[in-house]
Amino acid sequence: MFPIFKNKRRALAVLIGLALLITAGVLTAGGQFDPPAGDDWISASVADLQHRLDQSTNPAEQDLLQDKLNRLNHIQQTRQEAGVQSLPPQPEELCPALSQAVETPAQREEGVLLLEEHDYEDLDLMADNGWQGWVNGNWVRVLAGRSPATAGGKLLVFTENVGFQGFDLPAPLRIESASGSRLVLSDADGAAYYFDVAARQFLAAPDEIVPTLPPLPTFTPQPSRCP
């Protein structure tokens, strides 16, 4: 016998340790999601609500559960009646046509913009005004304003088919003018700021020379899978 097992306490400790290790392994073993056939959400929910309804003694709960159960039963019944039919051919008249352009040619005018829409809360911007134009072969739109979250300033630069960049600023700015792709902005106190759209950066002085960004990758439109 190994010396360690001569002492019953030690042997007990080792045994317990081993048992715990094995048990932990068994208990933490995962598996794959494998619902039984017919166990879609509607079926599962109907069964769950019916069980709760059968157990409930609260009239308010019973009414609520019955109403929800009726709605889910309707879905389940509709699905079952329809079954999994073979699909009809894709209707041509409903097939999406070419992408409906959001922009119109008139919106392609270059220069400083007076915005009709200011709310870009999903990008944390309440815009004041903007600028748009062609920069190195890309259509670019710049929006300036404030951040609703911080009440500081914010500048967003949108490059068509590429995406946007955000610049957080100490104070809200407004675009005053543009020279080529260089923007002159000002804050509430009238202090001037300069932003080079081609370089996507603020400048220390209006005549500062900064490198232009390398060319952006060519955009390849996603083909429609609709015949």
User: Which residues ranging from 49 to 88 are in contact with another protein (CB under 8 A)?
Assistant: 49, 52, 56, 58, 60-61, 63-65, 67-68, 70-72, 74-75, 78-79, 82-88
Rounded Cα–Cα distance for residues 227 and 97 (Å): 10
Instruction: Report the DSSP beta bridge partners of residue 138.
Output: 135
Near another protein in 149-168, by CB under 8 A: 149, 151, 156, 158-164, 166
Binder of another protein out of 1, 99, 170, 179 (CB under 8 A): 99
To the nearest whole angstrom, how small is the minimum distance from the Cβ of residue 14 to another protein?
Answer: 11
Nearer to another protein by Cβ, of 189 and 207: the residue is: 189
DSSP 8-class letter at 226: -
To the nearest whole angstrom, how small is the minimum distance from the Cβ of residue 199 to another protein?
Answer: 19
Rounded Cα–Cα distance for residues 172 and 126 (Å): 10
Nearer to another protein by Cβ, of 109 and 122: the residue is: 122
Nearer to another protein by Cβ, of 4 and 15: the residue is: 15
CB-based contacts of 93: which residues, under 8 Å, 6+ apart?
none
Angle at 82 between CA 79 and CA 85, to 5 degrees: 120
Angle at 204 between CA 209 and CA 172, to 5 degrees: 125
Cα 70 to the center of its chain, rounded Å: 34
- Residue window 101-120: x/- pattern of binding to another protein, with contact defined by CB under 8 A: xxx-------------xxxx
